[in-house]
Every structure is written in structure tokens, then in C-alpha cells.
Chain A
Amino acid sequence: MIEVNHLVKSYGKYQAVKDISFRVEEGEVLGFLGPNGAGKSTTMNVITGYLSATSGEVKIAGYDILQHPTEAKKHIGYLPEIPPVYGDMTVREYLQFVSELKGVKKSEQKAMLEDIMDKIKISHVAGKMIRNLSKGYRQRVGLAQALVGYPDVLILDEPTVGLDPKQIMEIRDVIRELGKTHTIILSSHILSEVSAVCNRVMILNKGQIVASDTPERLSSRLSENRYLVRIKGEEEAVLAAFAACPDFSQVQKMDQVEPGTAELLVVGKDGMDVREQIFRLAVACDFVLLLCKSEKLSLEDIFLRLTEGDGLPEAEEREADQSAQKEGQTHESHL
């Protein structure tokens, strides 16, 4: 449905987007995740034809956005970061204007607008001037605008920003509902949102894709065989015993949760499953094992791990190694 090939966008010397390629299949909900300035909005602006790419191509439903802009744009509904609404129009007038822009047939217009306002729950403010609406409602009007003409692709740039928690839930439900019938790209820096709504997450940093997968797999891929272990006993002694075991590549002391216990984060060598080794070690040293659970990285952790530093996957591994070494040193100093 959406095809982006080797997209580069530079502003003068600064490259906002550096050679990005990806595809979004029909019915997929893709989440762009990234810190501010990662190139999310720029990418969206290029996909929707608001900006032109420095190089590379964008195809929407098979139409190149630069060569066949009219055809391509017919398939797109776009909610930019700042909803493009006119304060001096009422909600209904505005949506009528948008439907005329998008060339909706006069006969279908009324029913379509009623349906959309109903879906987004803005029917009761239809007669109000947009400048008198709160930020949340403006955002909704912006979303309604994207739906006008029932495009099959929706590009939503931070659709829930500035909304209160209840509104966020509502908009998320709307997006989830829309995701059943539309191809959606949405951007956000709220991670729970992305994992709640999207089938696939793409993490962008400094204009590059640093990871792209389903939220679950992304989370498990980066957190394989990390175990949180709680052992009854004196902290220093437990730590020393674990650190001495050759099966673990990393042993990290965590904050104590229960008094009289030691809390450790253990990582197996070469990503090995070390639950058994943990148990045997505990038995051998006569420790009481209170807890041993696989520690999943939350999307937040992944996000931070991927976007801190220079974010390249190889670099990211090196960094992890370095931090492991550093932890090893601190752990030695503990001894």
C-alpha cells in the first residue's frame, strides 16, 4: 500500500532523513517511534506530498507521490502535527470545505460528514467555531478531516498529543477501529500507545530506522535470557557467588526489594538459558531461591537503548558490551 524506497530528505546540509526504506502492507498499522527530531514528521510530510524528498521515491497504492500527486493524494488522509484547521470556520463548514477539496460528490457529502462526526464524537460541536474549541476537540476535528473522503491510507502525526487521558483512550479506540479497515502510519513518542494500537513498530533515530518489528517481538528480541533473581541471604556473599560462576556473562546488583534478600539481574553467556544454572548454583551454595523470572525489557527500555548514543545496531551491541564491562568493574569494586 505504501512503499518508501531510499528516502533522503536534507535541509541544506542537515540530513533529517537518511536513506529510509520500508513497506506498509494493506491493513497494517505501523507506528513510528522516536525522540524529537528523529525525522518522524519529516518522513510523514514526504509521504503525504507536503515536502519533496531530496532523493528516493514514495509510492501510495502504486502511484508515485511526485509523478502522480493527484491520484496518490486521493488515497491519503493526513493529520499533521498541528491540526490544519481554520479558527474562523465552524466544524461543519470546515469539514464541508475539506470534502470539497477532496472532491467528494455533493450527494454523498452530507451522509459522509454525519458518519465521520459520529465516529469521532464531534457531532455536538458541529455548529461551533473551531477557534472556540479546546485542544482536544481541535485534534479530533483534525482527525475527522483526515477521514473525509474515506481514504484507505491514514497518516497520523502524534494523534493523541495534547489530549487528556480519557480522550487519549477514546482516540486510541477510534484508531484501533480504523485500523481494521485502513492502512495506518502513526507517530508517537508515547510507547504504550504504539504498542497498544500498532501491529508493527519502527523506531527512528536521527533520521534512520534502528529497529522494525512487532511490539512483542521487539521486546523479546532485545531481552532474551535476562533473569531477575531474588535470593535469601547476605547481599555481598550472594553477589560474590554469582559473579564467580562462569555461566553468566553479567551479574548486576539491583535495588533490594525485601529485607534480608539479594536482588540480582543475571544474563546468561551467549544468550544462554541459565535458569537451571541459577538453581544449581543456589543449591550448591545453600541459598534459598525466592524468585527467578525472565526480565522483559519494556518498550521504554528498548526505546532508550536504541535511541541513546548513535543508535546503530552494531554500535548498540558494542555499547551494551561496554556497559557490561563497566558493570563488571563496579561489581568488582563491590567485592
Chain B
Amino acid sequence: MKAIYKREMRMYFHSMTGYVFIGFFVLVTALYFSMMNILMMSPQFEYVFSSVIMTFLLLAPMLTMRLLSEETKQKTDQLLLTTPVSIVGIVLGKYAAAMTVFLIALGITALFPVILSVYGTIAVAQIFCSYIGFFLLGGVFLAVGLWISSLTDNLIVAAVGTFVAVFLLLMTESIVSSASGSVAFSLLFAVVLAALFALYFYNNTKSKPYTLVTFGVLLAVIVVLYFVRPTWFDGLAGRFGMLFAVLTRYSYFAMGILDVSAVVYFVSFIGLFLYFTVRVVEKKRWA
């Protein structure tokens, strides 16, 4: 894992990627800092972060697109997977490297609140809290990016895929708020989910009878639930969508609330996508 981490770090800083990432991130933060704090004479640095979040659309793909796709493309995964390094080690090493670059950029921006504190009083705890939230939020986007990078051997596909994923995550609240809460829609949504699960099941087992049985069982569960607990279907799609509402969770941090459940949410989100990544890499061997 250490070897992988070291190599990725070297790659970030031997190529332009690391510098461009840090430069771009710091530049955007500095712009918002000048506009929102200095020109408006406001000490509320956490607003700056809320605006900077949009840069993840570009920055997340930038850091993660080549992490695993390039290995597959150049066939260097044959080296990694035949040396005594575990797949978990490979994935964690790469993720840690991306997070380190992000952390360095974040560290540099810590200069701005320090500048503010010279000229006035700032809410130290709140800013610190929003830093933690921002770090975790970035961690989610990078984990998703790493996972997408493991799915393809094409840089562009990985980049666009990560862009779309980050976009959807940022848009979750808007999408959810426009989704219908009616029971009919929820039922349809539940059936579509069941179908998707069955497809995934089929993709993994290639067994038609088992897939049909699984799908049938899921449909039966939906029908039973519909008759036993009809209220459960009120706004089901919306509730499901809110599982992906990372911005809502982040907003707690920005408000200065160190919500443990939000921390657990972010950490599990990251853990889940790293686990998915490990599974994807592992599954290639069984192809």
C-alpha cells in the first residue's frame, strides 16, 4: 500500500496534475474569499466553502480519472495484481494519495481564515467544523471517482462519468424535491428498483431461473408491503433519493454542528465506494 501511495504521489507532482489541482482549488477559494470576506467585510468563511463545492465537478475527475483506468489500459495492473500486494492495499494506497493532494490544497486555504482572524474575530470552531465537513465531502467525491475509474480503461469515460456522478450528487436535493410523492409513483419506483436489483443479480450469476425467482420474491414483498403498510410508500422515491443527499449533510457542518450521524454517513459512503472499487478490481479476475 505504501509503495502504491508513494508512486501516486510522485505521479501527481511529477506531472502537472497535483499543481494544477492545488492551484485551481486555491485560486477559486481565494476569489470567493476576496469577494465574500474581504470586499464584503464579512468574517463568515464557511460561505466561501459552500461556493467552492462546485469546483469538485472538475477537480474530482482530475484527481481520480487515471488512478485505475490507466493501470488497466497500460496492462500495469498485471504487475500490481501479481505482486504480494492486496487489492485492498492497492485501492487504499491510491485513494490515500488523492486525499493527500486534496488535503494539501485544503491546508493552504487555511491561510484565509488566519488572515481574517488578524483583522477581526472569527468563529474558530465553526470554521474548523466546516473544514472537517468539506474534507469528508471531498472524500465522498474522490471515492466515487476512484470507483468510476475502476470501471473503465478509458480516461475520458472515467472523467465524464465522475463529472456526471458529482453533478448528480450535487443536484440530489433539487431532483428529490421535484419527484412526485404519490403512492403510484413510489410503487413504480419500487418495481424499477427491484428490476435493477434483478438485473444486477443476473449479471453476477448468469442464471435466468434464479433471477426470475429473485425478481418474483421482490415483487411479492412490494405487494405485501403495499397491503400491510401502505403508508410506507408515501414519498418512497424521495426518501430513497435523500440517501444520496451529501450537501444536506454537509450543511450541518457549515452551520457549525459536528453531527456524529453525518460523520458516520460520510465515512460509510466513502467506505462503501472503496469497497465497490475493490470488488470491481477483484471481479476482473473472474471475467
* A45-71 interface code vs B (CB 8 A; 1 in, 0 out): 100111110000000000000000111
* A33-54 interface code vs B (CB 8 A; 1 in, 0 out): 0000000000001001111100
Q: Are B285 and A100 in contact (CB under 8 A)?
A: no
- Interchain CB contact (< 8 A) of B79 among A74, A84, A88, A100: A84
22 contacts between A and B (CB under 8 A): A48-B82, A49-B285, A50-B77, A50-B81, A50-B82, A51-B286, A73-B83, A78-B79, A78-B82, A80-B75, A84-B78, A86-B76, A88-B11, A88-B15, A89-B7, A89-B10, A97-B6, A98-B79, A98-B83, A101-B79, A102-B83, A145-B79
- Interchain CB contact (< 8 A) of A50 among B14, B78, B85: B78
Q: Is A320 an interface residue (CB 8 A)?
A: no
Residues of B in contact with A (beta carbons under 8 Å apart):
2-4, 6-7, 10-11, 14-15, 74-86, 285-287
Q: Are B75 and A88 in contact (CB under 8 A)?
A: no
Q: Are B75 and A101 in contact (CB under 8 A)?
A: no
Query: Given A88-B15, A100-B3, are A82 and B75 neighbors across the interface (CB < 8 Å)?
Result: yes
Q: Please, which residues of chain A bring their CB within 8 A of the CB of B10?
A: 89, 93
Q: Please, which residues of chain A bring their CB within 8 A of the CB of B82?
A: 48-50, 73, 76, 78, 80
Q: Are B285 and A70 in contact (CB under 8 A)?
A: no
Query: Given A84-B76, A88-B11, A100-B3, are A52 and B83 neighbors across the interface (CB < 8 Å)?
Result: no
Nearest A residue to B285, CB-CB: A52
Q: Are B287 and A49 in contact (CB under 8 A)?
A: no
A-B contact count (CB 8 A): 71
Q: Are A51 and B285 in contact (CB under 8 A)?
A: yes
Q: Are B75 and A70 in contact (CB under 8 A)?
A: no
Q: Once bound together, how far apart are the Cα atoms of A74 and B76, in whole Å? A: 18
Q: Are B6 and A73 in contact (CB under 8 A)?
A: no
Q: Please, which residues of chain A bring their CB within 8 A of the CB of B80?
A: 101
Q: Are B74 and A84 in contact (CB under 8 A)?
A: yes
A294 → B minimal CB distance (Å): 45
Q: Are B3 and A78 in contact (CB under 8 A)?
A: no
Q: Are A86 and B74 in contact (CB under 8 A)?
A: yes
Q: Are A85 and B76 in contact (CB under 8 A)?
A: yes
Q: Once bound together, how far apart are the Cα atoms of A253 and B83, in whole Å? A: 56
Q: Once bound together, how far apart are the Cα atoms of A137 and B15, in whole Å? A: 24
**Count of chain A residues with a beta carbon within 8 Å of a chain B beta carbon:** 30
Q: Please, which residues of chain A bring their CB within 8 A of the CB of B86?
A: 69-70
Q: Please, which residues of chain B bring their CB within 8 A of the CB of A80?
A: 75, 78-79, 82
Q: Please, which residues of chain B bring their CB within 8 A of the CB of A51?
A: 285-287
Q: Once bound together, how far apart are the Cα atoms of A78 and B79, in whole Å? A: 8
For chain A residues 90-123, which have a beta carbon within 8 Å of chain B?
A: 93, 97-98, 100-103
Q: Are B3 and A97 in contact (CB under 8 A)?
A: yes
B73 → A minimal CB distance (Å): 11
Q: Please, which residues of chain B bring their CB within 8 A of the CB of A74?
A: 84
Q: Please, which residues of chain B bring their CB within 8 A of the CB of A86?
A: 7, 74, 76
B5 → A minimal CB distance (Å): 10
Q: Please, which residues of chain B bring their CB within 8 A of the CB of A87?
A: 74
Q: Are B11 and A101 in contact (CB under 8 A)?
A: no
Q: Please, which residues of chain A bring their CB within 8 A of the CB of B79?
A: 78, 80, 84, 98, 101, 145
Q: 6 tightest A-B contacts by CB?
A: A100-B3, A84-B79, A101-B83, A84-B76, A48-B82, A73-B84
